[in-house]
Amino acid sequence: MTIALVNGRVLTDNGFQGGFAVLVDGGTITGLALPSDPRVRAAERHDLGGRTLLPGFIDCQVNGGGGVLFNDAPTVDTIRRIGEAHAKFGTTGFLPTLISDDAEVMAKAIDAVNAAVEQGVPGVLGIHLEGPFIAPERKGVHDPAKFRIAGADDIAMLARRHGGVTLLTLAPERTPPEVLAQLVANGVIVAAGHTAADYDTTRNALASGVRGFTHLFNAMTPFTSREPGVVGAALEDVGSWCGLIVDGHHVHPASLRVAIAAKAREKMMLVTDAMPPVGSDNPSFVLKGETITVHDGAVRTADGTIAGSALDMATAVRNSVHMVGVAYDEAARMASTYPAAFLGLGATHGHIAAGYRADFAVVDENQHVIETWIGGTKVFG
C-alpha cells in the first residue's frame, strides 16, 4: 500500500518546501503531491508532526558501531549490528570499513558484505577497504606490519563483482600506475589517503582515475606555500570528492571553512570514521591489543593518537551548521546527496524525488533524528 508522509518540511532539490506529501510505494518515492491529490487521500498517512524530512544519510567510512568493530569480526552479523547502531542517527546507507589487514581478512570482509547485500541487510551499500596499500609515514592508527604494494592477486580480489560498491583508500605514491589503472577499469572507486604523496604525484593520480580523498587533512601531506601537497591538489581539483570528519577534533573549524570555500560545490561530503562506541554505552574498545577510549568526544590511543571517531552523521550535520557555519540544507546534502554521487549512486539515492529510494531521516527542530526510514520501512523511531 502507498504511504503518504504528510505535514512535514521536505528537503528537495529546490530547497526546503512545505505543504507537500511524499508518496512511497514498494520502497521507492513515487512523487510529491498536494494533500488534495487523490493519491494522498487513498494512501496510508504518516504524520511527520511538522518535522523536517531529509534524504537519508550516507556514510562512506564506518569502522564500527554498536560496540563492534568490523576488523574484529567481518561477518554479516557485525554489519547488521553496525547498521542498526548508525540508523539511530539517520544513516540509511553505509560502507563497512576495514582498516589495513591481511589478504585473508580482506577476502572475508568482502564476502561478508556481499552476503549482507544479498540478504538485504538494511543500509549496506558496499565495502570500504582503507588500506593496506598506504604509506608508513602517514599510517595513523593503522598497523604498518599489514602494509604492502598491491599485486595481481589483490587486483583480482578487489575486482570481483558483487551487489555493492567497492571503495579503496590507497597511497598513490605506493601504487604502480598500471595497478591504479586496472583497479579503476574494474569498477573500484579509488580514494587517496594515508599518503605522503607530493602535489605532482597526486595530480597524476587524479588524472589516472583517483576519485576522492579520505578524511581530508588527516594522514596526508599538508598545503604549504611551495608544496601544495595532497591537500592542495584535492582542493584545486574540480572533479573529485573530499571526505570531512567534522567532530571538532580531527580538523579545526577554520580549516574546514577554508576548505569548503575553496573546493568546488557539491564535492565535499561528511564521513564519520566511526568506531564501536557510536550507538553503544561502552566508551572503550580494543584495537590491535590496545584499549582505546573516548575522552571528551575524541577517540585516542594511550599515546594520544586519534583512532577514528565517536561521531555519528546527525552530529556531523549539526557540527557543520553550528561549528563551521554551513547552511543547514547544504550540510544535509553533504551527508546524503554528495556521498551518493561520489559512490555512483546519484540516480537512485540521496534525493527526495520521484524514482529515488525511500531513505529518509526525520529530524526535529534541534536537528536530532526522530525517525529513520530505509527502503520505505521505518527502522528507527
Q: Which residues are annotated as a binding site?
A: 130, 141, 194, 215, 218-219, 226, 250, 306-308
d(CA 232, CA 196): 13
Q: Which of 154, 273, 312, 359 is catalytic?
A: 273
CATH architecture of the domain 3-54+352-380 equals Roll (2.30)
Predicted confidence (pLDDT) per residue in 248-266, tens digit:
999 999 999 999 999 999 9
pLDDT of residue 1: 87
Equal CATH topology for 3-54+352-380 and 57-342 = no
Write the CA distances from 126 to 59, 113, 117, 245, integer angstroms. 11, 6, 8, 20
Phi, psi of 165 (to 5 degrees): -90, 155
Phi, psi of 68 (to 5 degrees): -125, 150
| C-alpha cell read off for 195 | 599518503
Predicted confidence (pLDDT) per residue in 298-337, tens digit:
999 988 889 999 999 999 999 999 999 999 999 999 999 9
Phi, psi of 216 (to 5 degrees): -50, 140
Summary mean pLDDT of the chain: 96
pLDDT of residue 161: 72
Give the dihedral sign, CA 119/122/125/130. negative
Give the gyration radius of the chain's Cα atoms.
20
The verdict on whether 101 is a catalytic residue reads no
Question: Order of strands, edge to edge, in the sheet holding 28-33?
Answer: 28-33, 21-25, 3-6, 44-47
Look at residue 163 and tell me whether its pLDDT is greater than 90: no
Residue 113 near residue 76 (C-beta atoms within 8 A) = no
Q: How confident is the model at residue 2 (pLDDT cuts 50, 70, 90)?
A: very high
Predicted confidence (pLDDT) per residue in 12-69, tens digit:
999 999 999 999 999 999 999 999 999 999 999 999 999 999 999 999 999 999 999 9
Q: So where are the chain's domains?
A: 3-54+352-380, 57-342
Identify the burial level of 302 via C-beta atoms within 10 angstroms of its C-beta, where 0-12 means exposed, 13-18 middle and 19 or more buried.
exposed
Q: Which residues are annotated as a binding site for substrate?
A: 141, 218-219, 226, 250, 306-308
Residue linked to cell 546527525:
314
Average pLDDT over residues 73-90: 98
pLDDT of residue 302: 86
- 61 Rama class: left (phi>0) / alpha (psi -120 to 50) / beta: beta
Look at residue 290 and tell me whether its pLDDT is greater than 90: no
Strand partners, 57: 91
357 DSSP assignment: B
Phi, psi of 215 (to 5 degrees): 35, 80
Look at residue 338 and tell me whether its pLDDT is greater than 80: yes
pLDDT of residue 158: 94
Average pLDDT over residues 215-243: 98
Average pLDDT over residues 67-78: 97
Look at residue 162 and tell me whether its pLDDT is greater than 90: no
Task: Please provide the size of the chain in residues.
Answer: 381
d(CA 367, CA 90): 11
Contacts of 185 by beta carbon, 8 Å cutoff, 6+ apart = none
Identify the burial level of 275 via C-beta atoms within 10 angstroms of its C-beta, where 0-12 means exposed, 13-18 middle and 19 or more buried.
buried
- DSSP element (H, E) containing 268: strand 268-270
Among residues 262, 215, 266, which one has the least CA distance to residue 239?
266
Among residues 141, 159, 140, 128, which one has the least CA distance to residue 58?
128
Strand partners, 222: none
Q: How confident is the model at residue 238 (pLDDT cuts 50, 70, 90)?
A: very high
d(CA 338, CA 145): 34
pLDDT of residue 221: 98
Average pLDDT over residues 161-189: 94
- The dihedral over CA atoms of 330, 335, 339, 340, expressed in degrees to the nearest 10, equals -90
d(CA 308, CA 174): 23
pLDDT of residue 143: 94
Whether CATH 3.20.20.140 fits 57-342: yes
pLDDT of residue 304: 87
Among residues 193, 210, 213, which one has the least CA distance to residue 142?
193
d(CA 81, CA 104): 22
pLDDT of residue 270: 98
| C-alpha cell read off for 194 | 594515508
d(CA 176, CA 215): 23
d(CA 107, CA 103): 6
Predicted confidence (pLDDT) per residue in 370-381, tens digit:
999 999 999 999
d(CA 182, CA 186): 6
Q: Which residues are annotated as a binding site for Zn(2+)?
A: 130, 194, 215
| C-alpha cell read off for 100 | 589495513
| C-alpha cell read off for 92 | 540509511
